[in-house]
Amino acid sequence: MAAPTFSSLLHRDLGLTAVADGRKRLRPEEGLALLKEAPLPALGRLASAAAERIHGDRLRTYVIDRNINYTNVCTAACTFCAFKRNLNDADAYVLGEAAIHAKVQELVDIGGNQVLLQGGMHPDLPLGFYTGMLSGLKKAFPQVHLHAFSPPEFVEFVAVLEVDGFPTARPGRGETLGRGAWLAKLEAVMRELMAAGLDSLPGGGGEIFGPHVRHRIGPGKASGAQWLDVMETAHRVGMRTSATMMFGHLEGRMDRIQHMDAVRSRQDRAIEADLPGRYLSFISWPYQRENTPLDRLPDHDPLAEKRGGEPFPGDVLAEAVARGEVDPEDRAACRRVAPGAGKVLRTAGGTEYLRTQAVSRLYLDNIHSIGSSWVTMGPRIGQLGLLYGANDMGSVMMEENVVSAAGTTYCLNEATLCRLVRDAGFVPAQRNNRYEVLQEHPDTPDAPDRRIDDWSTQRPRAQRAAFEPGVKAEAKDGPATVPLTVTAGHVQAAPALA
């Protein structure tokens, strides 16, 4: 009798078929075992089975929206960010109404239905700036869904915005208001923005929730607990949200699992309380290191670890925290457990990305959608993500400034997204923010990808930030001076997709 394979043992020991079928929930230690040990093809098959149970095996979706970064001024000091500018930097900017409306008009011209508005944590903009931006967009473009302001922005709003009946605090110190006042002001600000036109919240700034990692990568930024509280408040007032995770830096693999577990637990709470809002989606992507302060750290050597060398210190600390052996808020205790934690990087490539995405589909059994991150990983890995648990290809990318400031991102148009989905064996379909299908594109001559005769004119475009260091960007009330990165017809440059 043949010896059982590792794959068959893993299936039997963890009940993975039942997990994919929705009959069993993964525990954190089981999620870690998958992330560390499961054969990649088997993991892909399981995640695909889970995705097909939820979404069927025919359609895979995308959205036509635009990411508008309305300011790059930020009080945080994130070590993974190359986008942030200080208030008086020469290339600091705040987009004026004319510039924002011009960008949204270009989106509408190519059939877009959603805008993603995010910016740095600006210390001086008043509440009226944000309500005016939203109400002006709703008046000019009533058909466009406004998906705006990530949890770290809301945390800064609570600290610095002047709101009748509530105190203020210094930037990054909103917790000094006291928890009761903090939550009350958060809800008051959120309701003001909703009244002005805010429709839903993006999940930016999730990074890694664990405080033993977060204080190293995001000084001055929302804590993991604050991030989760912002989203729970949004769910309570009726908004739908997304959740994100940025990995492949200082964190251990158990930190990723604990991050997913926190999202799953909060979604359980929303479901049990019958809140009107929920998390709709989860998107993860690897850290992009170029031009960031974190890039100065040395790289961990995984081959040396496999030969019996020192394990990655982030794993040592993460697993000690998960076992309850160390308080993640106690920095001295963390240093004693893992002296090298935070001093060495373990970046993630395509294989680690697909592994993490597949585990997220299996672990997050109460989250509707898993998005593929082609923006950072490139079109082909993004396409492969559809075979590793993802059901959604995200948005066409007209421009992107935050991630591209720290490395290359990719710009794709609707025809190319449709081709990627179709070549993966699915029918592409345009959706809205609620993941409702607006239009299917079966294999007919009028489908966006079938209308293209010459694919050399539709090449994916590798992009770096539109706002490079030393370049003066748009003034607060002036016209746009940085050219947009795509036209309504096509994107250009970079190697052919074929």
DSSP 226-293: HHHHHHHHHHHTT--EEEEEEESSS--HHHHHHHHHHHHHHHHHHHHTT-S--EEEEEEEEPP-TTSG
pLDDT on residue 495 = 29
Q: Which amino acid is at 127?
A: L
Residue 5 scores a pLDDT above 80: no
- For 73, the token pair is 């001024």
With 0-12 CB in 10 A as exposed, 13-18 as middle and 19+ as buried, what is 306? exposed
Give residue-wise pLDDT tens across range 281-295.
Answer: 999 999 988 778 888
pLDDT on residue 255 = 98
pLDDT on residue 9 = 55
Give residue-wise pLDDT tens across range 181-230.
Answer: 999 999 999 999 999 999 999 999 999 999 999 999 988 789 999 999 99
For the full predicted model, state whether its pTM sits above 0.85: yes
Cβ contact 172:223 at 8 Å: no
N-terminal to C-terminal alpha carbon distance within the chain: 46
Q: How confident is the model at residue 117 (pLDDT cuts 50, 70, 90)?
A: very high
| Widest CA span in the chain | 76
What is the C-alpha to C-alpha distance for residues 288 and 347, in angstroms, rounded to an integer? 9
User: 3-state DSSP call for residue 386?
Assistant: helix
User: 3-state DSSP call for residue 428?
Assistant: strand
Which range has the worst mean pLDDT, 126-135, 296-305, 371-380, 475-484?
Answer: 475-484
**DSSP class of 407:** S
Which range has the worst mean pLDDT, 233-242, 327-336, 447-456, 460-469?
Answer: 460-469
Residues 448-465 have a mean pLDDT of: 75
- For 290, the token pair is 């170029």
Residue 473 scores a pLDDT above 60: no
Which range has the worst mean pLDDT, 38-47, 94-103, 263-272, 489-498?
Answer: 489-498
More confident residue, 134 or 460: 134
- For 440, the token pair is 């299917």
- For 286, the token pair is 């690897």
Which range has the worst mean pLDDT, 298-312, 326-340, 416-430, 471-485?
Answer: 471-485
Average pLDDT over the chain, rounded to an integer:
88
What is the C-alpha to C-alpha distance for residues 406 and 290, in angstroms, rounded to an integer? 5
More confident residue, 475 or 77: 77
Share of the chain above pLDDT 90, in %: 74
- For 258, the token pair is 């604990």
Q: How many CA atoms lie within 13 A of 173 on its CB side?
A: 6
Q: How confident is the model at residue 489 (pLDDT cuts 50, 70, 90)?
A: very low
Give the closest residue to 406 by CA, choosing from 286, 245, 252.
286
Residue 411 scores a pLDDT above 90: no
Residue 325 scores a pLDDT above 70: yes
Q: How confident is the model at residue 123 (pLDDT cuts 50, 70, 90)?
A: confident
What is the C-alpha to C-alpha distance for residues 263 and 266, in angstroms, rounded to an integer? 5
Alpha-carbon separation of residue 367 from 57, 128, 179, 223, 280 (angstroms): 18, 34, 28, 22, 6
Q: How confident is the model at residue 275 (pLDDT cuts 50, 70, 90)?
A: very high
- For 206, the token pair is 């999730």
Q: How confident is the model at residue 414 (pLDDT cuts 50, 70, 90)?
A: very high
CATH, domain range 13-463: 3.20.20.70
pLDDT on residue 410 = 63
pLDDT on residue 83 = 78
Cα-atom radius of gyration of the chain, to the nearest Å? Answer: 22
* Antiparallel, parallel or unpaired: β 145-148 and 114-118: parallel
Residue owning tokens 């475009």: 461
Residues 123-142 have a mean pLDDT of: 96
Residue 483 scores a pLDDT above 50: no
Residue 494 scores a pLDDT above 70: no
More confident residue, 217 or 314: 314
b/e per residue, 320-333, with b = 16+ CB within 10 A?
bbbeeebebeeeeb
Residue 360 scores a pLDDT above 60: yes
b/e per residue, 418-455, with b = 16+ CB within 10 A?
bbbbbebebbbbbbebebeeeeebeeeeebbbbebeee
Residue 399 scores a pLDDT above 70: no
Contacts of 299 (CB under 8 A, 6+ apart): 344, 345, 346, 347
Sketch the domain layout of the chain as residue ranges: 13-463
